[in-house]
Structure 1
């Protein structure tokens, strides 16, 4: 991809309209995916306690800004330039040239900005899991390493035409390459960082910490849901033919119905198990359904997409108490929604995406290879980074600061100054 981008000529006269259509698809999709940053901010701000809302808002806007710059300076070329069936691209700053040379059938900068807004999504998964007890600057240092190096390397293996692409691994829009990478990073961070004070009691009970604003969190999920149409639909990368336009429309339909199924199954399972419907599980059921369909949103029939998303909603409900039994504190439920459902969505491609050329078991083997290899690499690399940060500058705020709240101790302000509830 990168070699074409750097040297291709302008499109021929007959290809002007497809060029414009493809470019506009990526630009509009990039804007919609960027708005997912607002969705993560609302979701996380609504699910943390009042004393930490301003801090999580700052983390969201700063991680997005840092991720975009890191990806520009290092990550993009590392992911796409000269991978050629291997493991890694080239170090260097990306540049489209003085006149933004064409990337074959679209503007080079359209492709770049579309890929760039993806990278912050993986980092947003981490911020929600580790909220309320991680220091700001050490967290941002981790985001720098994740978005400049770790995410681009794993992306190169598939989207950069690296070794996993050669072996038939399929991940249309990033169930593994984006969401599981973020999920594995969040999991290793939660293990190193430890749970919030008072979350797990000595008698084995789990102390609930209600979020500050559930309507705010619900709005965040609706924004993320909207953003997913750009996330999955834009990954078609073309809209200049009838076939491409039909594909984008089909992706939209499959994406939407998977999310709907995720909500309803999460509601049903929580009613059966807890005797009442849990709003937060329903919200994460929507995200779980969306993550599940992301690896292959084009090939399935609508009924298949409904099953894929519905299973995602079920997995979310069962994974949340499992993490609590393991005393892994995930503030917003990001690990079940992004990691567990990312794995499920990637593996189920063996059913929804198989063809006459690629049978079920052959494709399942490729999918397993991708899940295991990317998981192993991200676990090893992120554990090393988290451990190094913890042993040098430290990851966790002091117990006193955690009790007071990060809004006051790190920012000196309060998100809700008129009615802040302590504790």
Structure 2
């Protein structure tokens, strides 16, 4: 007999002996659960009972928490959080757009500015700006809640939104205002001076004017001024600051010579187009997110936003085509953005036809505005002033014309239009004075502008010591002194 067979027989014999002489309880358990029963399984029974009891208790508590109010609270906060992420992603769009519209020797500088500006805006707005903007101590400025102090982090603090969600959404808006400035002063400003201005804009100037409009005690809001998502509060503020910066900084070398306007083409229209599309998508967080709730108005606002963008792109294309004989891609891009800026103030209160008209007018305005600023030698490499300032003003005025309840064209009288004009002038004056003072101080202290040699060589090398396209052929064109 082999040892293997012997072992098997011994095992069977032992099992048989155990079955014969096992205690009665064990025999009963084995008959009930089967011969393969293990005592380890029996130990799981109390654990299973605990799990079932706990699950039942949790389910009961969950049933109690699922009230309509709690569900709406969760939906509102999740939607606005998603909208905030979309707005933050717009920084990628601004970076691509500005980089593509400018020369390759300045690509690293432009990308650096667009990336760092949101980091700076977040910190400046957290420390000072949010308190100045949303503390309701006075009609003109907030005087507390700095560093987000004094707020709960889990319950509703701003309508139905928690403080973290509301702050993130508003910080994204603050970053947008500063990013607008970057395009208008591109290719010749010192990196450190741009950083300083961005901090002051997002910590002080933008929050103060935002307080006037977007708080229950703000004096402009009390006059009836309406700016739903920021044609004035965000875009015109950024546009006014950009205009002052471009004027004080001066044009790029070779842009205006011998009474001529010399075009300085961008180096990559592919990424500029990608930037435009990213911004278009991000605007569905910018405008619908400003509803600050997940309700039926959100898709309506998305449609008016999209209609205006489409109309702006079409009208800018046709206008540029008629004027130059060719459909200009840069004007298609800026036309779409102009339509988006134009409808931002009134997207929740205008009809679909009104949104289309606003976009059509914005597309025409941006083409003529680019030519106008060139004619007065304001060098804006990406058209930021034409898109954000000019159409921020137009979009704010359009509320007084096309709002379906208070607009002049809908029987609402002239009152809304007057309120809009007052708001445009007040915000514009404050931002221009603030920006002019800061830009002038920076120019006196550090010169504000890079040297002529550094500008000709490119800010990538002079400011950052690196190239965006290392190993590729450099731009060696010389057009009126432009390298």
Structure-2 residue corresponding to 1:210 = 265
Mapped partners of 1:316, 1:57: distance in 2: 25
Query: Any conservation in 2 of the 1:132–1:196 contact (CA below 8 Å)?
Result: yes
Mapped partners of 2:413, 2:206: distance in 1: 28
Summarize the alignment of residues 242-257 of structure 1 with structure 2, pairs less than 5 Å apart.
Answer: 244=295, 246-257=296-307
Secondary structure of the 2:261 match is coil
- Higher alpha-carbon deviation: 91-100 or 325-334: 91-100
Query: Any conservation in 1 of the 2:350–2:404 contact (CA below 8 Å)?
Result: no
Structure-2 residue corresponding to 1:234 = 289
* C-alpha RMSD over aligned residues: 1.5
Mapped partners of 1:59, 1:220: distance in 2: 15
Summarize the alignment of residues 400-411 of structure 1 with structure 2, pairs less than 5 Å apart.
Answer: 400-411=453-464
Mapped partners of 2:76, 2:433: distance in 1: 38
How far 1:107 moved relative to its partner? 1.9
Mapped partners of 1:360, 1:183: distance in 2: 29
For residues 199-246 of structure 1, give each alpha carbon's deviation from its aligned partner in whole angstroms, at most 9, with x where no partner exists: 0012x111111101001000000000000000000001111xxxx2x2
Summarize the alignment of residues 136-155 of structure 1 with structure 2, pairs less than 5 Å apart.
Answer: 136-155=191-210
TM superposition score normalised by structure 2: 0.82
Structure-2 residue corresponding to 1:307 = 357
How far 1:160 moved relative to its partner? 2.1
How far 1:101 moved relative to its partner? 3.4
Secondary structure of the 1:29 match is helix
For residues 144-187 of structure 1, give each alpha carbon's deviation from its aligned partner in whole angstroms, at most 9, with x where no partner exists: 10000000000000102310010000000000000000000000
Structure-1 residue corresponding to 2:402 = 352
Structure-1 residue corresponding to 2:100 = 46
Structure-2 residue corresponding to 1:119 = 174
Higher relative contact order (CA 8 A, sep 6+): 1
How far 1:257 moved relative to its partner? 0.8
Mapped partners of 1:62, 1:356: distance in 2: 41
Do the aligned partners of residues 181 and 397 (structure 1) sit closer, same or farther apart at CA in structure 2, a change above 3 Å counting? same
Structure-2 residue corresponding to 1:8 = none
Structure-2 residue corresponding to 1:167 = 223
Mapped partners of 2:77, 2:150: distance in 1: 14
How far 1:416 moved relative to its partner? 1.3
Mapped partners of 1:235, 1:207: distance in 2: 40
For residues 309-362 of structure 1, give each alpha carbon's deviation from its aligned partner in whole angstroms, at most 9, with x where no partner exists: 110000000000100110000010000100000000000101222526992310
Query: Any conservation in 2 of the 1:263–1:286 contact (CA below 8 Å)?
Result: yes
How far 1:12 moved relative to its partner? 9.3
Mapped partners of 2:66, 2:126: distance in 1: 29
| Aligned mate of 1:340, from 372, 375, 390 | 390
Mapped partners of 1:373, 1:360: distance in 2: 22
Mapped partners of 2:199, 2:123: distance in 1: 9
Structure-1 residue corresponding to 2:234 = 178
Secondary structure of the 1:90 match is coil
Mapped partners of 1:120, 1:356: distance in 2: 31
How far 1:108 moved relative to its partner? 1.8
Query: Any conservation in 1 of the 2:185–2:246 contact (CA below 8 Å)?
Result: yes
| Aligned mate of 2:437, from 381, 384, 387 | 384
- 1:323 correspondence with 2:323: no
| Aligned mate of 2:70, from 13, 16, 40 | 16
Query: Any conservation in 2 of the 1:83–1:156 contact (CA below 8 Å)?
Result: no
How far 1:95 moved relative to its partner? 3.5
Query: Any conservation in 1 of the 2:153–2:162 contact (CA below 8 Å)?
Result: no
Do the aligned partners of residues 98 and 261 (structure 1) sit closer, same or farther apart at CA in structure 2, a change above 3 Å counting? closer
- Structure with greater Cα Rg: 2
| Aligned mate of 1:135, from 187, 190, 202 | 190
- Higher alpha-carbon deviation: 101-110 or 397-406: 101-110
Structure-1 residue corresponding to 2:421 = 368
Structure-1 residue corresponding to 2:309 = 259
Summarize the alignment of residues 274-313 of structure 1 with structure 2, pairs less than 5 Å apart.
Answer: 274-313=324-363
TM superposition score normalised by structure 1: 0.93
Mapped partners of 2:475, 2:253: distance in 1: 17
Secondary structure of the 1:236 match is coil
Mapped partners of 2:179, 2:303: distance in 1: 25
Query: Any conservation in 1 of the 2:151–2:163 contact (CA below 8 Å)?
Result: no
Query: Any conservation in 1 of the 2:153–2:164 contact (CA below 8 Å)?
Result: no
